[in-house]
């Protein structure tokens, strides 16, 4: 195995994260661009930490999400950066966002349980769209008559919303206050009834 000095390692890791199409994990780095070199886990972690600090004062940040590391722009810059794209960001219906919130906070959950909380039927299109976006998936079947599918969020969901794990979700009180600031009569208050785990 070849040796690589810290400066070269830092350049290689930075470039690999920059050109990767998706977030890249430490394990993926070691198995691909670093497979010819002897690099200790602690050294790789130290280099990534240094890169995070290097980018902290800039408009681009190195962030860790569920699938690994990626560069992304600061959220505060999005009003200006969005002008680079002509198409508008997709608008999601309130029903879709409520369904996604229930799945995120109460997973695993069945479609029937979602409908019971929301008080209305969940459209097949909502489940299909969330599945196609790779935000939710079937993780099993509930052991009751009919064996309904159990839904849970995916790494794709965490990556899209820049979270490393579900523990990064806002707590229910914070989530409720955010929802109330958007709409004073938010039906998302039902999340307060979520069973604690």
| pLDDT tens digits, 95-129 | 999 999 999 999 999 999 999 998 899 999 999 99
CATH number at residue 28: 1.10.10.10
**88 in a domain, yes or no?**
no
Token pair for residue 66? 């569920």
CA distances from 24 to 18, 20, 146, 159, 165 (A): 10, 7, 40, 11, 15
Window from 99-103, 139-143, 176-180 with minimum mean pLDDT:
176-180
> Does the pLDDT of residue 137 top 70, yes or no?
yes
- Average pLDDT of span 45-67: 95
What is the per-residue pLDDT for 67? 92
Are residue 72 and residue 141 in the same domain, yes or no?
Answer: no
Are residue 106 and residue 189 in the same domain, yes or no?
Answer: yes
What is the domain count for the chain? Answer: 2
Are residue 122 and residue 146 in the same domain, yes or no?
Answer: yes
Domain final residue, candidates 83, 110, 127:
83
Domain final residue, candidates 51, 83, 115:
83
Q: From CA 90, how far away is CA 92, in angstroms rounded? A: 6
Are residue 68 and residue 39 in the same domain, yes or no?
Answer: yes
Are residue 51 and residue 131 in the same domain, yes or no?
Answer: no
Are residue 145 and residue 66 in the same domain, yes or no?
Answer: no
Token pair for residue 82? 């969005």
Q: Residue 62: CA atoms inside 13 Å, Cβ hemisphere, count?
A: 23
Are residue 77 and residue 98 in the same domain, yes or no?
Answer: no
Are residue 110 and residue 187 in the same domain, yes or no?
Answer: yes
* H helix count then E strand count, the chain: 9, 5
pTM (global) more than 0.75: no
What is the per-residue pLDDT for 184? 47
**1 in a domain, yes or no?**
no
Are residue 101 and residue 183 in the same domain, yes or no?
Answer: yes
Residues 61-97: tens digit of each pLDDT: 999 999 999 999 998 898 888 888 766 667 888 899 9
Are residue 123 and residue 189 in the same domain, yes or no?
Answer: yes
Q: Which of 182, 14, 40 is nearest to 98 (CA)?
A: 182
Are residue 110 and residue 39 in the same domain, yes or no?
Answer: no
> Is residue 180 very low, low, confident or very high in pLDDT (cuts 50, 70, 90)?
low
Are residue 56 and residue 105 in the same domain, yes or no?
Answer: no
Provide the domain limits for residue 113. Answer: 94-193
């Amino acid at each position: 195995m070849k040796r690589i000095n810290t400066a070269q390692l830092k350049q290689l890791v930075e470039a690999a994260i920059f050109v990767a199409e998706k977030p890249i994990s430490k394990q993926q780095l070691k198995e691909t661009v670093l497979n010819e070199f002897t690099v200790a886990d602690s050294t790789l972690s130290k280099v990534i930490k240094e890169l995070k600090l290097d980018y902290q004062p800039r408009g681009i940040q190195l962030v860790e999400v569920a699938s690994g590391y990626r560069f992304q722009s600061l959220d505060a810059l999005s009003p200006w950066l969005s002008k680079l794209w002509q198409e508008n960001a997709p608008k999601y219906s309130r029903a879709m966002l409520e369904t996604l919130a229930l799945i995120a906070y109460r997973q695993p959950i069945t479609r029937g349980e979602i409908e019971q909380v929301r008080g209305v039927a969940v459209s097949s299109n909502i489940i299909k769209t969330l599945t196609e976006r790779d935000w939710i998936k079937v993780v099993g079947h509930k052991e009751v008559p009919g064996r309904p599918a159990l839904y849970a969020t995916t790494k794709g969901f965490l990556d899209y919303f820049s979270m490393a794990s579900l523990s990064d979700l806002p707590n229910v009180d914070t989530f409720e206050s955010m929802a109330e600031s958007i709409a004073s009569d938010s039906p998302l208050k039902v999340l307060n009834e979520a069973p604690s785990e």
